[in-house]
Structure 1
Amino acid sequence: MTIPFLVTTLIVVVTPGTGVFFTLSAGLSRGARAGVLAAFACTLGTVPHLLAAMTGLAALLQTSAVAFDLVRYLGVGYLLYLAWSAVRDRSAFAATTDDTPRSATRVIVSGVVVNLLNPKPTLFFVAFLPQFVGASAVGSTQAMLTCGAVFMLLTFVVFSGYGIFAARLRDRVLTRPRVTDWLRRSVAGTFVALGVTLALTQR
């Protein structure tokens, strides 16, 4: 494990993206527990990408336009579904003293799907890990698993911080109806923007 790997990983994890925004939304709408669950879900969602990079499935996404586009547009569709849900469900951003999310399973499944239906993490692992682990080196598989585990740990810690931070702002935000309506539209708009960005992403 090297310092450059840790620094690069931290920069990648901290940079806002689909997973970060999903975690912030969960913490703000459902409280700290939901934020941490969302962080766990997004972390869990990186496992298939890591395995794909290690087993060569990433090569399929890299060489097959059909496979890449299939995963990409499924991801776009799901992000647009999340946007529609944010607009429709007014109770998600309603002031309440109950910090328990309605369904822990729903939060986890949504977070995993958000990351799973984005082909870029797989290609990221393909471009990222080989810089720190020689593919032909002895013990390279173990080294990739170790690096992947560190990446996941940092993802969970940083994303949990995002979720808890959002939850702390919850009471200040959700007790103001105008702010709540603006926030709901902003959440929906951001999911749409993320969907458009993913739709325009090239291999």
Structure 2
Amino acid sequence: MRTRVATFGIQHYDAFLIASIALNLTPGLDTFYILTRSGREGHAAGMAAALGINAGCIVHTLAAVLGISAILTTSAFAFSVLKYLGAAYLMWIGARMVFSRSTTRQPTETKGKGLAAAFRQGMLTNVLNPKVALFFLAFLPQFVSMHAMHPQLGLVLLGLSFIGTGLAWSSVLALMGGRIHRLLLARPQLGRWMDRLCGTILLAFGVKLALQQRS
């Protein structure tokens, strides 16, 4: 293992894992979205959302390795386009929840198309956030020596390690949301208020993203 780490240029891997766990435990949009999705539609939908979010992290890892994310640091236009697309998408999801007229909780929503939608939305909320792209671009290289034989593979391994810790925590969040879902099935009125509250918070996340700067 040490030989592989040296070949790939990975440095201070234990510190990287500790930092990754701490960052994944920090509440943010991903945490809230998984809890919201599993709370509204059940554990399966929460897991689909978690897988989508982590699939987005794979995209950001590859973008950092290929240098694509560097464009966001040099092009204000590219950063703004991605930022406003992400903000608009978050606000669209939030608005649908706020103005939804659904009167019952339907567990069958999590099957088939529902799971695909949860995965797709989770992935898009992550991919369309330029701050996440810049995070991967800035965070991963700190633990890889660019003088190694295969530093790009080192970046990929670190990205997958970060995603592994994130997926483990995401699974816990989905389970927690599943418990909330069972509570809401018995109290439809509470479920409607939760939709409005969660939708409002997603709208706020969208506004926050739209106002973010590159620095």
Is the counterpart of residue 32 in structure 1 residue 43 in structure 2?
A: yes
Between the aligned partners of 1:108 and 1:97, the Cα distance in structure 2 is: 17
The aligned length equals 202
Q: Say if 1:119 and 1:40 are closer, same or farther in 2 by CA, change over 3 A.
A: same
Match of 2:136 among 103, 125, 133: 125
In the alignment, which residue of structure 2 is the partner of 1:61? 72
Q: What is the TM-score normalised by the length of structure 2? A: 0.87
Between the aligned partners of 1:80 and 1:23, the Cα distance in structure 2 is: 16
Q: Secondary structure at the match of 2:194?
A: helix
Instruction: Give per-residue Cα distances to partners, 1:72-123, cap 9 Å, x unaligned.
Output: 00000000100111123343x8334557345221111111111111011111
Larger Rg: 2
RMSD in angstroms over aligned alpha carbons?
1.8
Q: What is the TM-score normalised by the length of structure 1? A: 0.92
Q: Say if 1:145 and 1:97 are closer, same or farther in 2 by CA, change over 3 A.
A: closer
Give runs of aligned pairs for residues 51-90 of structure 1, distance below 5 A: 51-90=62-101
Aligned AA (1:162): L
Between the aligned partners of 1:133 and 1:198, the Cα distance in structure 2 is: 29
Unaligned runs of 5+ in 2: 1-11
Unaligned runs of 5+ in 1: none
Q: Say if 1:190 and 1:151 are closer, same or farther in 2 by CA, change over 3 A.
A: same
Could you tell me whether the CA contact under 8 Å between 1:32 and 1:99 is conserved in 2?
no
In the alignment, which residue of structure 2 is the partner of 1:46? 57
Could you tell me whether the CA contact under 8 Å between 1:39 and 1:156 is conserved in 2?
yes
- Tell me the percent identity: 34
